[in-house]
Amino acid sequence: MPKPGAWRQSGRLRCHIAYHMTTQSPDTPCSCDCFVSLPPASAVPAVIFAKNSDRPRDEVQEVVFVPAGTHAPGSRLQCTYIEVEQVSKTHAVILSRPSWLWGAEMGANEHGVCIGNEAVWTKEPVGQGEALLGMDLLRLALERSSSAQEAVRVIAGLLERHGQGGSCREDPEPFCYHNTFLLADRTEAWVLETAGRLWAAQRIQEGARNISNQLSIGTDISAEHPELRTHAQAQGWWGGQGTFDFAQVFSLTQQPVRMEAAKARFRAGRELLQQQQGGITAEVMMDILRNKESGICMDSGGFRTTASMVSILPRDPTQPCVHFLTATPDPSRSVFKPFIFGAGAAQAPQVLSPTFGAQDPVRTVPRFQTQVDRRHTLYLGHQKALGLMEREQDQGQQLRQKQQDLEREGLEAASRLLVGEWAPPSRELGGLFQAFVERESQAYA
């Protein structure tokens, strides 16, 4: 059993990233970064998952709890743009999602499966036809899978049946991409990278791994689409003999600016993980997500980190998984709040955005011709807090200290829970996130 502090200890990251971010044009999206650590890279017997969601600067991200459900045979499910067949049972999930869409940027389910996605562009053309968004695929996999490996199979099957496509931002000008995914559970992680309906997957059983808006699977392929290599050969991208390197074969020869920038973030993220090998905790992951020098915590070119998530997935199945979510932008000035699945788990209303029904710009065609105010209560309070931090140094420092104290309390509660020093009833655990959201809202009021 690790010492209590091992679940949360962290030196400040000693990294002076020398990589230079590629110059961004105003409309150049930088997108996201995902991280995972497995023993022996983790300081504790647990898998640690983390993600920054980098999205259009004013986009609001909400945190949504969806309980487990049963569904009638033949039911249909409306995703962001298209309907798909519903399954008979779906798992409880906690999702961090852009509030205008159905899917999610990152999330977890009651079985300890976590998934984050990334935008990617490959030699396979990106169509503008509406299909499943990568964020839809992410939510569907969480609702339908009890392991990371099963989630890979679910996404692969949905890709084959429905494809991926549609605009990924709330704007009349379409912005489309394919997706890569980092999937983790209590025992292992998988990287799944796609190009249209094609895909390759890599299994990770130890150490640390990150992904950043580029293909990263080379020759170490654990599973793949049955037509992956024949398609590459038919297109003239691979000769059919010798080593098959997925990233080399499918990556664009001339990379767009956004992917050149992603290379620098990927190298920086890998370096930050390597510096902490054997000592990676949830707090270390939070520090990485807050690293501005590398661009991992970003605010440029009309995009910024709009929400963040870190999860502790203990190897011991009798211990609960703990998921920390911000529900607010800029993790360097936000609070990671703990969520634990339990009998008392419910939707925190302060982090749920307003809804607009059939009049929502995403529901009317042509889409996104108007704008609506999707800011939830915590988002509004946080925005006022950020303004105070920027205008009033003394008051801003006091408010930031309140944020840090609240987050530290959450980390310490998780630590005591995971070493057996605190054993509250399930209903109290399920209400933990709601309690921390309320306290953060009070701090801003």
- Tens of pLDDT along 240-251? 999 999 999 999
What is the SS3 assignment for 88?
coil
Mean per-residue pLDDT for 6-35? Answer: 47
- Report the distance separating Cα 276 and Cα 262, nearest Å: 21
pLDDT band at 257 (very low <50, low <70, confident <90, very high): confident
- Dihedral (Cα; 250, 251, 256, 262), 10-degree rounding: 130
Backbone angles phi, psi at 78, to 5 degrees: -85, 115
Q: Is 235's pLDDT higher than 80?
A: yes
| Average confidence score pLDDT of the chain | 92
Largest CA distance in the chain: 66
Nearest to 212 by CA among 193, 229, 199, 225: 193
> Which pLDDT score, from 0 to 100, does residue 29 have?
46
Mean per-residue pLDDT for 399-419? Answer: 97
- Tens of pLDDT along 350-403? 999 999 999 999 999 999 999 999 999 999 999 999 999 999 989 999 999 999
Q: Is 2's pLDDT higher than 90?
A: no
Identify whether 425 is preceded by a cis peptide bond (ω within 30 of 0): no
- Tens of pLDDT along 49-73? 999 999 999 999 999 999 999 999 9
- Tens of pLDDT along 74-115? 999 999 999 999 999 999 999 999 999 999 999 999 999 999
> Which pLDDT score, from 0 to 100, does residue 360 have?
97
Could you list the active site residues?
32
Q: Up-side HSE of residue 254: CA atoms within 13 Å toward CB?
A: 0
- Tokens in use for 15? 């990294």
Backbone angles phi, psi at 44, to 5 degrees: -130, 160
Mean per-residue pLDDT for 159-182? Answer: 96
Please give the angle made by the CA atoms of 405, 58 and 119, to the nearest 5 degrees.
Answer: 95
